[in-house]
Amino acid sequence: MASRSVLTGVGSYLPKRVLSNAELSRRVDTSDEWIVERTGIRERRIAADGEKTSDLACAASVKALEAAGRDAKDIDLVIVATTTPDLTFPATAARVQAELGVSHGAAFDIQAVCSGFIFALATADNFLARGQAKAALVIGAETFSRIMDWEDRGTCVLFGDGAGAVVLEAREDAADRGVISTFLRTDGRMHDLLYVDGGPSETQTVGKVRMVGNAVFRHAVEHISGAMLEACARAGVSLDDVDWFVPHQANQRILDGVARKLGIDVDKVVSTVALHGNTSAASVPLALDVAVRDGRIKSGDLVLMEALGGGLTWGAALIRV
Ligand code: ACO
């Protein structure tokens, strides 16, 4: 029987510090009303001074391991999806591996910005399916606050910090559980719609987020909808078969636009955007963890996750939890 990548645990972590719209509107020319109406965001979390992406990733991973009933010694693959690594190198995953006490197998980062978790999940699924690993920690972790231009009202109101993690295990007796299909896509011709204006090779600086927001918005609804349909088609299921939709939490209007376009019941769409903002690669596993822990997503449910981000990158993953 073929091996399946089964999700056995999920966990997340949010920094303590809450940054409200009211506080932001004292820093830049914006208002709570504008942010809520255009994005649905009410507040976001900000990492403390000295709190690194690897710290957030480890905190989320500990909870995911606990939920899976696993120990670090059971893990033989660590993938961290992040755009805000601790350092240019080594990979944040290498630090996470050492910090958690994972002592064998590979650890590496994936950079697909807000789609990073979907790309990391698909990568882990391939490693497990080919027998190259038995149990993977797949993490999305970001300290986006460190690359915000806090004077640019068009971007600084959107993002927040956080981390989410899942344990994926290769199982031959999974029946219909596990990752069923994934779809990944990149179109580098749109790299200048959303990017950071710094990097070691080009500027020797870290840089800040730059975005043509309304253009990204238009691409988001179209490509996310397409990715969701493609992931379902590859699995031979219809959108009606899906129990829960766990989207990347960029903007409530994008979530609503996709639901409207595809005729999805909004009550089946998990939304955490109001309290988390856009946490980039962390947003999908963070939302998944919220809905698993509050009892909405139950064992056996069919869950469709999706994201779009800088690159542009986009993708979707269908999984029976
Ligand atoms: N407060 C008040 N006014 C603002 C703010 C703000 N925070 N930000 C922009 N504005 C102003 C603009 O300056 C502009 O003013 P003008 O008409 O005088 O020039 C006006 O609001 C309209 O600007 P738009 O950019 O056209 O506004 P839009 O309705 O598109 O909303 C937003 C902007 C929220 C950024 C939206 O385009 C968006 O969410 N885009 C998606 C981008 C995104 O989520 N990117 C994250 C990564 S990719 C992803 O995760 C999908």
Q: Are residues 155 and 188 in the same domain?
A: no
Helical H segments across the chain, by residue range: 21-27, 32-39, 53-68, 92-100, 116-129, 153-156, 213-235, 252-262, 273-276, 283-293
Report whether residue 309 contacts ligand 1, using a CB cutoff of 6 Å.
yes
Q: Are residues 166 and 211 in the same domain?
A: no
| pTM, to two decimals | 0.97
Residue 175: predicted pLDDT: 81
Q: Which of 171, 194, 223 is the last residue of a domain?
A: 171
CA of 214 to the centre of ligand 1 (A): 6
Residue 1: predicted pLDDT: 59
- Per-residue pLDDT at 57 exceeds 80: yes
Q: Which of 121, 139, 171 is the last residue of a domain?
A: 171
CA of 213 to the centre of ligand 1 (A): 5
pLDDT tens-digit series, residues 181-222: 999 999 999 999 999 999 999 999 999 999 999 999 999 999
Residue 39 phi, psi dihedral angles, 5° rounding: -135, -25
pLDDT tens-digit series, residues 87-114: 999 999 999 999 999 999 999 999 999 9
- The domain in which residue 194 lies consists of 178-320
Q: Which of 171, 195, 216 is the last residue of a domain?
A: 171
Q: Are residues 150 and 64 in the same domain?
A: yes
Residue 89 phi, psi dihedral angles, 5° rounding: -155, 160
Report whether residue 154 contacts ligand 1, using a CB cutoff of 6 Å.
yes
Q: Are residues 198 and 243 in the same domain?
A: yes
Residues above pLDDT 90, as percent of the chain: 97
Q: Are residues 157 and 259 in the same domain?
A: no
pLDDT tens-digit series, residues 28-41: 999 999 999 999 99
List the CATH number of the domain containing 35.
Answer: 3.40.47.10
pLDDT tens-digit series, residues 256-304: 999 999 999 999 999 999 999 999 999 999 999 999 999 999 999 999 9
Q: Are residues 20 and 157 in the same domain?
A: yes
- Per-residue pLDDT at 306 exceeds 80: yes
User: Count of domains in the chain?
Assistant: 2
248 has catalytic annotation:
yes
193: number of Cβ within 10 Å? 18
Contact by Cβ (8 Å): 135, 167: yes
Choosing from 150, 211, 217 the residue with most ligand 1 atoms within 8 A of its CB, the one to mutate for a pocket test is: 217
